[in-house]
Amino acid sequence: MRLKDKVAIVTGGAHGIGRAISEIFAEEGAAVFIADLDANAGEALAAELRHKGHEATLLRADVSAATDVTQVVERAAQKNGRIDVLCNNAAYIGQWHNSVEATEEEWQKCLSVTLLGTQYFTKEVLQYMVRQKQGSIINISSIQGMVGGRNSAAYTTVKSGLLGFTRSVDYDFGPDNIRVNAICPGAITTRISPQPGTELYQRQISKTFLGRVGKPREVAQAALFLASDESSYITGAVLPVDGGWTAM
């Protein structure tokens, strides 16, 4: 029960990596608030976790809408007046386009969901974390925030931006005992992953030392460590969960 009695918000927490993080946080004792646009999937997950005896609540939200974000954080804080953990997982991938092909709409959505959504949530939870002199913020970036990726100009740019954002917030609020770290997943099996046997799937496998793609739970384990007091002296870190991809 490494997160016992903690209040945690997971954005984009209904699917994929976000779902795995919501699950493991709840299993480890946190009161988890799942912020997601997909109300059906989010409520189904929350109900499943409650059925298992955990504490989970769906709060439907568009992370790119500042008013939605404020409402989510205020609702979560009603639990006990605290926000202990924020995991900024929500992102917009869109289509895979290079700089010539990417539309203004794609750029705007990547920026508003991935970067501004992270800013909105971080700004709102900081008022609680500063007051309580404690908190952990985990930003889910990508290995494409660390190394290049083909046909992904907008996505790669915002994921790189998350690393700069992580370090900046950490620098400013470290003295308040607020830890801010980033996780950079590599190839992970989710609903939008390339199918086995495809060229992209084989390329992903060839890029890892372990010779396989990862599982959402393997990213969630890293998030759990960074959320817990076990990582009390770790902040400003960028942690690849990529099977060795970025070590090549």
Q: What pLDDT is attached to residue 9?
A: 99
| Selection from 57, 49, 53, 48 nearest residue 78 by Cα | 57
d(CA 22, CA 87): 9
CA quadruple 241, 151, 114, 243: dihedral, nearest 10: 0
Other C-beta atoms closer than 10 Å to the C-beta of 208 total 19
pLDDT (tens digit, 9 = 90+) per residue, 175-205?
A: 999 999 999 999 999 887 888 889 889 989 9
Q: What pLDDT is attached to residue 34?
A: 98
Of 92, 128, 155, 171, catalytic: 155
Judging by DSSP bridges, how do beta strands 55-60 and 7-11 pair with one another? unpaired
Predicted model pTM: 0.96
Task: Establish whether 201 is a catalytic residue.
Answer: no
Q: What pLDDT is attached to residue 194?
A: 81
Q: What pLDDT is attached to residue 151?
A: 86
Q: What pLDDT is attached to residue 101?
A: 92
| Selection from 173, 166, 238, 246 nearest residue 214 by Cα | 246
In the chain, domain spans: 7-247
Q: What pLDDT is attached to residue 199?
A: 87
The CA-to-CA distance between both ends of the chain, in Å, stands at 36
Listing DSSP states for 177-243 in one string gives TEEEEEEEE-SB--TTSPPTTSHHHHHHHHT-TTSS-B-HHHHHHHHHHHHSGGGTT--S-EEEEST
Residue with token string 């500063």: 130
Q: Cα angle vertex 10, ends 7, 16, to 5°?
A: 140
d(CA 46, CA 18): 13
Q: Which CATH superfamily does the domain covering 7-247 fall into? A: NAD(P)-binding Rossmann-like Domain (3.40.50.720)
In a structure prediction context, what are the per-residue pLDDT tens digits for the chain, which is 248 residues long? 999 999 999 999 999 999 999 999 999 999 999 999 999 999 999 999 999 999 999 999 999 999 999 999 999 999 999 999 999 999 998 778 899 999 999 999 999 999 999 999 999 999 999 999 999 999 999 999 999 888 889 999 999 999 999 999 999 999 999 999 999 999 999 887 888 889 889 989 999 999 999 999 999 999 999 999 999 999 999 999 999 999 97
